Structure 1
Amino acid sequence: KHVACEVPAVTTLKEAWDVINTAERTQRHCMMLENCVYDFFELTTLNMAQQGLFGDVLSAKGAYIHNLEPFWKYYEGNWRLKFNQENRGDVYATHGLGPACWVLNIHRGDRMEYLTSMDVPATSIPRFMKKELGVENPVVKNGEMTQTLIKTALGKTIYLEHNVASYRPYDRMYQVIGTDGFANKYPNEGYALRPTEQNLKAVPNHEDLKSHDYVSDATRDELMKKYQHPIQKEIAEKAKKVGGHGGMDFIMDYRLIYCMRNGLPLDMDVYDLAEWSVIGDLTRLSLEHQSAPVAFPDFTRGAWKRIKGLQLHFAK
């Protein structure tokens, strides 16, 4: 049977290869239910990038920054706290990495080649365990924050950050950096585009940096309307009414069923599942070896070179 599973779908390199080999041998889909690629800003920005609005996209950023201290007690059997206590690395990367990989066409003309990671000492979780759970001198393997840089085969970069411990506003950081434009989701959604030829003739003034600012809110709204992704045009209003993380869960489920019913390739394949999930294992290896570069396996076995860009399919 075809399979859809929660994130992260695997936690080790061996598990990733096992899933890929099984999917290839049985010719069955195995899709990870990564919802954040379907959020409204991410889909619109993806369409802008694919239409060339940002020029050549050179880099992207993603993160999972979510203070989980108010929630630790409510996970069954304390499983999530224990997972961060027992594992080191970016253990929950898919929400930030997925949209970044899509906009950079990862394994669709480019691939992640290697990464290097750094972290900082765990502070908040040990303090919580002592204060709230009565654990004396708790040992927590995962750092307070893990930061990772990924280099692609085409020389582009992805920045990732994981922090579920510090007192910070929720942030998935989504940024897209291109030669002609920039997109930023948090804390405020905005776009910055290369000035027109007329504006370029103005004499620069280092005391006035408005020319380097985001476009106005009105222009941003016009751009988001103009570049609304075809998926959004089809289902956005219903998704907002139904809800599920603002509607992106609904869009994710809808697209899975839509593609299956119409015999289309799924938006996310088993190679996305593997690449996005093994970040935890690869960052652990880097951290355990003084932030040494760690190579990504080529889960596609070279097929990434034959696909020219991400394409989301629709029935005719």
Structure 2
Amino acid sequence: MDKQLNRRTFLSAGATLAGGLMLPAAHAAGSKERLRIGMIGTGMRGQVLLRELVRRDDVEVAALCDIEPIMLGRALAQVEKAGKPRPQTFGEDRDPHAYRRMLDTAKLDGVIIATPWELHAKMAIDAMQAKVAVGCEVVAGVTLQDHWDVLNTQRKTGTPYMLLENVCYRRDVLAVLQMVRAGLFGELVHLQGGYQHDLRAVKLNGGDPRQAVGGGVEFGAKGWSEAKWRTDHSVQRNGELYPSHGIGPCAMYTNINRGNCFTRINAFASKARGLHDYIVKQPGGASHPNAKAKFKLGDIVTTTLSCENGETILLQHDTSLPRPYSLGFRVQGTDGLWMDLNHSIHIEGVSKPHQWEDFKAYQDKFEHPLWRAHAEKAAGAGHGGMDFFVIHAFIEALKAQAPMPIDIYDAITWSAITPLSEQSIAQGFQTLDFPDFTDGKWRTRKPIFGFDGRY
């Protein structure tokens, strides 16, 4: 990039570069125009994704499965309100294997899995073996063996699998992807991201189905929604429990599994204080039985990864202390950097020396083709529109019988950071080799994410 460009010329050139990166979509001869989609898990997250499904004319929500009657009822009401036909339902008998009956009998093209983390791997494996394409909420598995099992099943069956990582579709994240591919930051050197979100009132609530956030300090059997299952992971595990929000965009920027790969990983965990302090500070909390609970998850978990092409990536997991929400993105190269926390960018030769510029003008000029095409459709969708895009990508790729933009190798590589970080911490913060889940295919695979103007 010519360092003598002034700011106006630079931004104008950037818009041209950004628009020119879109490649045509690939279509298969057997593409379908309308899909029968099922959903396993109709809790709060499932209902957000269901909203995106029922407003599409190319999707029939054919079946819903949940063993919690309240949530299944809410999902059915959502479908009815959208004016769509009532889907088949499974799980009213609270049979934990009801989803298998759905896979066997509902004649589905695809299924959305939006259940607790520990169920994802088995459900995805069963769906792929039934030849039902999988759109799986994060994470792909819990143990390292889970990840190998999911990967090996996908390889054996050939069934499409996409990890539904919505942050890859965040508006600024996709604009930065355009900038990276246009070379604005020069050669990438270091990236950061994470999941920094105060979840204390999510992990601990009053167990009331009418109030999923706050209202008490219950978890486990007496909790409701995520407090019923997610908090147990904080009791039993210590590691980077939720890596894909941070690593997904960083992996796309650095072409992980497509010309680059992770080589080494280590993780450090702080002491655990936040959840206990939250409990004892609530009314009656000091005398509540959960005040004696022992939480294993460090309040701040810091994970570092090295890449074959020389970049380093830092992730931070921070969900048990008071803080505003932030994913903490930083993309830094030989010609400048972007940071999402202060919505700022600095490009050498364009920005004033040693000064930040506001990111808004750059984001507008480097708007990704997906957002240019679908911003109106995404308006009002969950998480600032990201949920529209992640469902849109899964459906469009499945209709076209095209490669999933976040495919099995991405899913397994990103999600396996969790058990590897747990192993590193348990072994005294040891640095470990990162497995090559692609068996060397990363050397020849080509980047596809974000090039297609439809998904």
- Calculate the TM-score normalised by the size of structure 2: 0.63
CA contact (8 A) 1:86 1:140 kept: yes
CA contact (8 A) 1:267 1:313 kept: no
User: For 1:56-115, what per-residue CA distance to the aligned partner results, in whole angstroms no more than 9, with x for missing partners?
Assistant: 111211110111122221343532222111111011111111111111110111111111
User: For 1:206-244, what per-residue CA distance to the aligned partner results, in whole angstroms no more than 9, with x for missing partners?
Assistant: xxxx621112x3xx433222211111111122212x321
Q: Give the letter aligned to residue 177 of structure 1.
A: Q
Match of 1:111 in 2: 261
How far off its partner does 1:130 sit? 4.6
Match of 1:29 in 2: 160
**Residue 147, structure 1, aligned to residue 302, structure 2:** yes
Q: Using the alignment, how far apart are the partners of 1:247 and 1:135 within structure 2?
A: 37
- Correspondence list, 1:189-268, <5 A: 189-196=343-350, 211-215=353-357, 217=358, 220-240=359-379, 242-268=380-406
**Residue 293, structure 1, aligned to residue 431, structure 2:** yes
Q: Using the alignment, how far apart are the partners of 2:276 and 2:366 within structure 1?
A: 46
Bigger shift: residues 141-150 or 131-140: 131-140
- Name stretches of at least 5 consecutive residues in structure 2 with no aligned partner: 1-131, 206-211, 213-223
CA contact (8 A) 1:118 1:287 kept: yes
Match of 1:161 in 2: 316
Q: Using the alignment, how far apart are the partners of 1:237 and 1:263 within structure 2?
A: 26
How far off its partner does 1:124 sit? 1.2
Q: Give the letter aligned to residue 248 of structure 1.
A: M
Q: Report SS of the residue matched to 2:252.
A: helix
How far off its partner does 1:116 sit? 1.0
Among 141, 146, 149, which residue is 1:10 paired with? 141
Among 313, 321, 337, which residue is 1:182 paired with? 337
User: For 1:149-173, what per-residue CA distance to the aligned partner results, in whole angstroms no more than 9, with x for missing partners?
Assistant: 1011122111000011111111100
Q: Give the letter aligned to residue 138 of structure 2.
A: V
User: For 1:163-208, what per-residue CA distance to the aligned partner results, in whole angstroms no more than 9, with x for missing partners?
Assistant: 111111111001101111211111x312110125xx9xxxxxxxxx
User: For 1:241-283, what per-residue CA distance to the aligned partner results, in whole angstroms no more than 9, with x for missing partners?
Assistant: x321110000111111112222321110011111111111011
Q: Report SS of the residue matched to 2:294.
A: coil
From the superposition, tell whether residues 178 and 148 of structure 1 become closer, same or farther in structure 2 (CA, over 3 Å). Answer: same
Among 57, 60, 76, which residue is 2:188 paired with? 57
Q: Using the alignment, how far apart are the partners of 1:128 and 1:224 within structure 2?
A: 38
User: For 1:21-59, what per-residue CA distance to the aligned partner results, in whole angstroms no more than 9, with x for missing partners?
Assistant: 111111111111110000000000011101111111112
From the superposition, tell whether residues 18 and 268 of structure 1 become closer, same or farther in structure 2 (CA, over 3 Å). Answer: same
Q: Report SS of the residue matched to 1:79.
A: helix
Q: Give the letter aligned to residue 164 of structure 2.
A: L
Q: Using the alignment, how far apart are the partners of 1:66 and 1:236 within structure 2?
A: 26
Q: Using the alignment, how far apart are the partners of 1:244 and 1:137 within structure 2?
A: 36
CA contact (8 A) 1:108 1:308 kept: yes
Identity among equivalent pairs (%): 32
Match of 1:205 in 2: none
Q: Report SS of the residue matched to 2:191.
A: strand
Q: Using the alignment, how far apart are the partners of 1:13 and 1:80 within structure 2?
A: 19
Match of 1:85 in 2: 235
Q: Report SS of the residue matched to 1:117.
A: strand
Q: Give the letter aligned to residue 378 of structure 2.
A: A
What is the aligned length? Answer: 299
CA contact (8 A) 2:161 2:404 kept: no
- Name stretches of at least 5 consecutive residues in structure 1 with no aligned partner: 200-209
Q: Using the alignment, how far apart are the partners of 1:108 and 1:54 within structure 2?
A: 20
Q: Using the alignment, how far apart are the partners of 2:353 and 2:193 within structure 1?
A: 26
**Residue 173, structure 1, aligned to residue 323, structure 2:** no
Rg (Cα) greater in structure: 2
CA contact (8 A) 2:266 2:431 kept: yes
Q: Using the alignment, how far apart are the partners of 1:88 and 1:139 within structure 2?
A: 12
Of the two structures, which has the highest relative contact order with CA contacts closer than 8 Å and spacing of 6 or more?
1
- Calculate the TM-score normalised by the size of structure 1: 0.89
How far off its partner does 1:313 sit? 5.0
CA contact (8 A) 1:110 1:305 kept: yes
Q: Give the letter aligned to residue 147 of structure 2.
A: A
Bigger shift: residues 71-80 or 42-51: 71-80
RMSD, aligned CA? 1.8
Q: Give the letter aligned to residue 262 of structure 1.
A: A
Q: Using the alignment, how far apart are the partners of 1:116 and 1:277 within structure 2?
A: 15
**Residue 124, structure 1, aligned to residue 274, structure 2:** yes
Q: Using the alignment, how far apart are the partners of 2:450 and 2:383 within structure 1?
A: 22
- Correspondence list, 1:40-51, <5 A: 40-51=171-182
**Residue 303, structure 1, aligned to residue 430, structure 2:** no
Q: Give the letter aligned to residue 245 of structure 2.
A: H
Q: Using the alignment, how far apart are the partners of 1:175 and 1:275 within structure 2?
A: 20
Match of 1:204 in 2: none
User: For 1:107-132, what per-residue CA distance to the aligned partner results, in whole angstroms no more than 9, with x for missing partners?
Assistant: 11111111111111100112234553
